[in-house]
Structure 1
């Protein structure tokens, strides 16, 4: 079980084309199957800059989410957290919630929450707030409070972020509907308060150090290896300045990490191995199942329209294919980051594939689709 080398060359040719035509300044790809791994660097770290390297560091944005969820499950396994206990003792800002009578209602038109919010609600993105679709009052209020799904102000303190979140009504009753993003940031605060540690330390001690992910964190001193982020604007790539070296006050569990292809490959290998790494168990097989299989029921999915394809469900922290409509098979789990990164793994094929760029996602991403297609066509 591995790759057809001629077809793997096709993948490199296709991805190289996106560098040649200026779509991407640079990229790193990694594909791994059955003990065979290929990692390639294309283009440059920045437009006109140094050549891209295998160990280039990327802002992985929302690819942070499955890592956050995995760290939560380590605390669940130690009985520090429980999936179905109310989070009120640690997140009192989320206690005694009010809920809008409908997602488009005025902020004052509310009813009491039917039940408390749990860690499971945060992990499944069904706690009641997130990327509320449409130009509605709650979406505007989240944006004005700095809570909308976009990079969190690194200067905001976690307690202040929670205070702002706690001042808003929920868009849905807890457990009723999937809304993207915000649950992961709340989980970061939950873990920090549960352990008495900053989130960066929690992730380092529970995930990064056990897995040897030495290049992953909320900041890095190796600025010379950090790829520049670009924002497409009418056919032009404009620099998007983000400091990689300053530790943020708010380590975003939804999108704040920097990482490398090798580090994220190690994380996904652990999941494919049922929670083990080099003979050491990091997570139980039961936790890995929760992290890699659909956790939503059908009634929770209507609000996911547009954010999740209709052939995908949601595990703890990432999407999972529930019906084949293209190359990916049922059981493939994956997620992408808004700064231009994506990763997927398919257990049935023992396959992991990672594409890291720093062209921010502002619309379609044909290079993502072509990377996925050329990965699958290269399977031997």
Structure 2
């Protein structure tokens, strides 16, 4: 069964019938020069030492130098395999910056424009309606004043909803239409209705166009399904299936051999198990050997569908830090790479009360500003299962933190990784 699970609901105390396992003690750590980043090493190791997570990993690189990988624990509580640079993790929303960069490749080539209405490519979005009351009645609507643009999709300002964010009738309509942003498990999850996902990006886009917007396009940052819709825009603009475009234009040139929307049977031995922490117990919600990622996905989810290794994602981050190039391979111009990692929010867009309050947003990732605690130059995003990846262009670093638990807010791994990293960098 495909499920997009609410982070808040998992945190609120789902109870699973059986299958729970107590956390193991500290397993043999996989590491490489962790002494260079003592605060980060202590931080990630602590989650395994305290028996809160099965395995954690960090990948840190400076400039275009080779990354340092260090970690603790194993891929699953019933596995003896230590985590390492080629362990496969569910990225969830760390997929969004990859999709954002894919769109910017087409901007680079003149096949898309940032302020181009997506109705030029998807005519069904030409006459959208907006809820008069966000998450209110589906009948109390007004015509949208502004057409949704490429910029809006990249920056979560299109006014679109998300079934993990919205409430009430719009959330129910998204669920009924199969408008989900990813998949979690083959297992039924108590308390959640079964959802049959849209069977293709074409169907996804067509169904989404029939539902109202939550906000007027361009006016408010609201976490949304926009990067999933961007996958369909990329298909039309490029003339290629979205997943094929990513493989040809990003994954193959950068040598990202462990990245995709599905885990091959031959690679299941490198896949982590995903857990839900509850009262000192880890509940396996997607065991590696029976993972939903072994099945072909209904569609390639540009907002949350990829799996990858720390080694692969570090190559993507190295390309960003190299302003479009790494390892002698250039996939986009420096000017477009810098644009992608700049603040692309529409002028006047309201971020108050959101995940990015007081920050900027670029092509699928948060952008730090001069007023941010770290100063400007940070670009990246995290995933629903605890992962996080970013580049620090000002200081010349790239960093990724990896764990597998849902929701990300259940433990302070994702939220604390950046501060630990910056403690090392600024020491």
* Structure 1 and Structure 2 fold alike (TM over 0.5): yes
**Matching residue of 1:285:** 334
On the 8 A contact 2:256/2:315 being kept in 1, the answer is yes
Alignment partner of 1:321 out of 365, 368, 376: 368
Q: Secondary structure at the match of 2:69?
A: strand
Looking at structure 2, the residues matched to 28 and 374 of structure 1 have their Cα atoms a distance apart, in angstroms, of: 13
Matched, 1:197 2:228: no
Looking at structure 1, the residues matched to 127 and 61 of structure 2 have their Cα atoms a distance apart, in angstroms, of: 47
**Matching residue of 1:41:** 71
**Matching residue of 1:162:** 205
Alignment partner of 1:31 out of 55, 60, 65: 60
Q: Secondary structure at the match of 1:300?
A: coil
**Matching residue of 2:112:** 81
Matched, 1:272 2:321: yes
Range moving further from structure 2, 229-238 or 152-161? 152-161
How far does the alpha carbon of each residue in 1:152-207 deviate from its partner, in whole angstroms, 9 at most, with x for none? 86662222222321121111222222221311000001112333322110100111
How far does the alpha carbon of each residue in 1:246-303 deviate from its partner, in whole angstroms, 9 at most, with x for none? 221310000000111111111111111111123332112222123212222563124x
Shift of 1:336: 0.2
**Matching residue of 2:390:** 344
Range moving further from structure 2, 13-22 or 34-43? 34-43
Matched, 1:356 2:417: no
Structure 2: stretches of 5+ with no match in the other structure: 1-32, 185-195
On the 8 A contact 1:130/1:148 being kept in 2, the answer is no
How far does the alpha carbon of each residue in 1:300-354 deviate from its partner, in whole angstroms, 9 at most, with x for none? 124x52322x33221110001225564x332211210001100121111101110
On the 8 A contact 1:274/1:288 being kept in 2, the answer is yes
Structure 1: stretches of 5+ with no match in the other structure: none
Shift of 1:357: 0.9
Alignment partner of 1:220 out of 263, 275, 296: 263
Looking at structure 1, the residues matched to 85 and 136 of structure 2 have their Cα atoms a distance apart, in angstroms, of: 49
- How many pairs are equivalent? 374
Alignment partner of 2:177 out of 141, 145, 149: 145
Looking at structure 2, the residues matched to 69 and 272 of structure 1 have their Cα atoms a distance apart, in angstroms, of: 15
- TM-score between both structures, scaled by the size of structure 1: 0.90
Q: How does 1:174-189 map to 2 (within 5 A)?
A: 174-189=217-232
Alignment partner of 1:231 out of 268, 276, 288: 276
Range moving further from structure 2, 259-268 or 244-253? 244-253
**Matching residue of 1:101:** 132
On the 8 A contact 1:312/1:323 being kept in 2, the answer is no
Q: Secondary structure at the match of 2:68?
A: strand
Q: Secondary structure at the match of 2:67?
A: strand
Shift of 1:370: 3.5
Alignment partner of 1:61 out of 79, 87, 92: 92
Q: Secondary structure at the match of 1:244?
A: helix
**Matching residue of 1:15:** 44
Alignment partner of 1:262 out of 297, 311, 315: 311
Q: Secondary structure at the match of 1:299?
A: coil
**Aligned Cα RMSD in Å?**
2.4
Alignment partner of 2:123 out of 79, 92, 116: 92
